[in-house]
Structures are given as structure tokens and as C-alpha cells.
Amino acid sequence: MPKKFRIVLFSNATSSTKELNFSKFHIFAFACVCLVFIGSITAVSVNILSNYLYAFRLNRLSQERSAMRSDIKELNQSYEELNSRLSMLFNSGGDLRREANLDPLSSSIREAGIGGSESIPSNQSEFFFSESELISDIAIKLNEFKRLVEIQESSFFAIAAGLENQKERLRYFPSVVPINPNEGEIHLTDRFGLRADPVSGAADNHQGIDIRGNIGTPVHATADGKVVVLHKTTNGELGIYVRIDHYSSKYGFVTRYAHLSKINPNLKVGSIVKRWDNIGEIGATGRTTGPHLHYEVIRWNRHVDPEDESWDPKMFKRFYAEPGVNEPG
């Protein structure tokens, strides 16, 4: 006889009993049904959960992706802004290079740089590129940017050195007018070059400029230098004159101030003078028809036009623009 299992149920209310009989097979079948049921529930739950997690992760990835694209966009914008600021630096650097007497940076250096062949052309929509392509594009651009910043950096060092030389050079550059208009009324009466000789009327190559002023008007050195000639006697065409060497072995300039009435008594041959130092007074000594300063600039042993050699020729010409005055000198 097969083994039976019995469950007896008592009811308190009716004092009756009920019996449930099970065979081993019944229990086994019941257990199988339960297992299948629990298994199905679990499988469905796991599936729902994993779908949910997948959707959640997908959503998060998509958010991260759009945040990344917007970061890339911002990086590109910052890069464009820095690039245009670098362009401005290149432009001001160009002006400074001219001031410092340096050759301009070759434009090919700049053009070869940003937007070079390897990077994504700026007119291409970023839509067509993956994030990793866009990021590597930024990396390429930044690398090029770094190179250009380094070029500009060394250019600025060269400019600093060049300007220092320039400053030194300008000290020895006869760049100002030898008479201060606040110290007496003056007129430019004769310019440099061919003219009719004021005394003989014959054709003459005037080797300086003539500035008419009253006798005693102070005359100044036009640049730093060393007194090399003090001609104190009135004989000769130029009468009393001073010759100053402005470090001519390096910069080429010598100046001469002639027809003076007087030389500054403190000056000796070899005296060091600074720009604007008083060297004498206007006179009418030598071959002249009236009081004036004959001022010469010699550069590399050749007479040159003092107006053109002024470091600001326009200012010099404006200063001496005196219409209608052309008195013999």
C-alpha cells in the first residue's frame, strides 16, 4: 500500500473534523508546480529589472553623451576665442618687431598652424564626427596652439632684446632740433641740398640746415656723444663750431654746429655730452650773411639731411615749417 500523508483540520465552532489525504506523488507534483511558478515569477522579475536597469543606464549614457558634446562645443568655443586673441598678439607682436628692428614673423608660420590638414575643417558639422574624433581634433588644435604660443613667446623675448638695443641706439641718434624754440624765436631758413650760395649766388650743395635766430640763443647737442672738435677761432667758412661724435663707430653719426658766437666754456675735446646739453650760442662767425646756426648731420662719413635723419622726420619738418622765409645763411 502506497504511503499516505494526512492533514486533519478541527473546527472549534462546530467541533467537527476534516481530513485531507495526500499521496507522495501528490506532494511531489505540488512541489513541482510551486517550483515552476516561483521560477517563472523570478525569470519575469529579473527580465523586468534588467530592462529597467538597461533603460536607466542607456538614459544616463545618453545624458552623459550630450553633456560631453556640449563640453566639446564649449572647448571649441574657448579655443576659437583664445585663437583670435593669439592672432591679436601676433599682430601687436608684428608692430613691436618693427619697432625693435626685427624682421616680421613669416605668415607661413602662422598659416601652417591652426586649422592644419589633420584637424577637422571648421565648416564641417560636428554631427558627422564621433566624440573621440572631436576630442582628438581639439587635441591637434591645442598642440598647434601650444606651438604658436611658444613662437610668440620667443618672439617677445627677441623684441625685448631688440628694444633694449633700440633704446641704446636712439641715445646716439641725432633725433631732435638743436635749438629749443622756447629759448628764442627761430626759423628754418635753408634746407639741405642744392641751392644758390647766399654769398656768391653760385650753385651750391648745402650740407646741412640753417636755423636763423638771435645771437646768444642757446644751441644744444641733438644726441648723446663726445666732443671731438672745438673750433674756437672765427677764421674759416664755418667760424666757431663744435663737432660731436655720437658713437659713430657703432651707429655712424657725427654732428656739427657752426657759425657760433660762443662755445660753452665747460666743454673740452673729449667731453661727454647728453642730448639737449648746451654746447654754445648762435652767432654769425665765419662765412655768413647774418646770425644763424648751420647744423650738419654726418652718417657713416657722408652728409645727410638732418630733417630726414630725425627719428621722427614728420615732427621735425612740421617744427620747421616756416612758409615764405628763405633768408640767406
**Footprint of Zn ion (CB under 5 A):** 210, 294, 329
Minimum CB distance to Zn ion, residue 243 (Å): 15
Q: Rounded to whole angstroms, what are the CA distances from 298 to 5, 162, 256, 279?
A: 135, 25, 8, 18
Q: What are the b/e assignments for 179-208, b being 16+ CB within 10 Å?
A: beeeeeebbbbbbbeebeebeeeeeeebbb
Residue, CB closest to Zn ion: 294
Which CB sits closer to Zn ion, 97 or 243?
Answer: 243
Instruction: State which amino acid sits at residue 153.
Output: E
Q: Output 141 or 294, the one with its CB closest to Zn ion.
A: 294
Identity at 130, one-letter amino acid code: S
**Closest distance of CB 239 from Zn ion, Å:** 11
What is the Cα–Cα distance from 226 to 247, expressed in whole angstroms?
A: 8
> Least CB distance from residue 288 to Zn ion, whole Å?
8
The residue among 134 and 209 lying less far from Zn ion, judged by its C-beta, is: 209
CB of 238 to Zn ion, least distance (A): 9
Dump the DSSP string for 29-80: HHHHHHHHHHHHHHHHHHHHHHHHHHHHHHHHHHHHHHHHHHHHHHHHHHHH
Residue 97 or 294: the one with the smaller Cβ distance to Zn ion is 294
> In which element (H, E) is residue 203 found?
strand 203-206
Kindly state the smallest distance separating residue 249's Cβ from Zn ion, in Å: 27
Q: How far is CA 120 from the centre of its chain?
A: 28
- Please identify, using beta-carbon distances, which residue of 100 and 279 lies nearer to Zn ion: 279
